Amino acid sequence: MYILGIDPGTATIGFGCIEVIGQQAATAVSYGIIQTDKRMDMPNRLLVLHTDMTELLTDLKPDVMAVEELFFLKNVNTALPVAQARGVILLAAAQAGVPVVGYTPAQVKLTVTGSGRAEKIEVQEGVRDLLDLATIPRPDDAADALGIALTHWQVLAGRGELPRAVAG
């Protein structure tokens, strides 16, 4: 099973794909970022995002896509463009026939580190440990996306559908 995690944004979108086979641990298949030019107007940035997401989904052929839910307490000006980008990401998944699930940042932190209030570096180290990587995935958005994919794996494991991830 391929699980594609997505950390949505407008300038930088993190992606991380993991593979789970039988009772084996999850392995990182691919991770990185999609970037849009900050000088472009929003419609064209969304077009670039859609094109790149469509290509990513075609290349990786994930069984499911896990996308971070948006959570903004203060800055609506930031929330709206990210919500637009998230909508384009969801559209690309629907067009590719890939089911989508969503997780909050606190759910990802809790799953990867055991604490819903973990710091960013703790999440990155947890991702590295769970995927048995030599180094923390870079950039940060890619590590976050892998954490989102790992969260979905853990949710499936909790239902008895996949084995639980074990750090280490």
Q: Which of 119, 132, 141, 161 is catalytic?
A: 141
Three-state secondary structure string covering 35-77: ECCCCCCHHHHHHHHHHHHHHHHHHHCCCEEEEECCCCCCCHH
Q: Which residues contact 76 (CB under 8 A, 6 or more apart)?
A: none
The residue type found at 98 is: V
Active site residue 68: yes
d(CA 5, CA 150): 8
Q: Please give the backbone phi and psi of residue 7, each rounded to the nearest 5 degrees, phi first.
A: -105, 100
Query: Choosing from 41, 59, 68, 161, which is the catalytic residue?
Result: 68
Q: What is the distance between the alpha carbons of residues 157 and 141, in angstroms, rounded to a whole number?
A: 24
Distance, in Å, from the CA atom of 73 to the CA atom of 94, rounded to the nearest integer, reads: 28
What residues act catalytically? 7, 68, 141
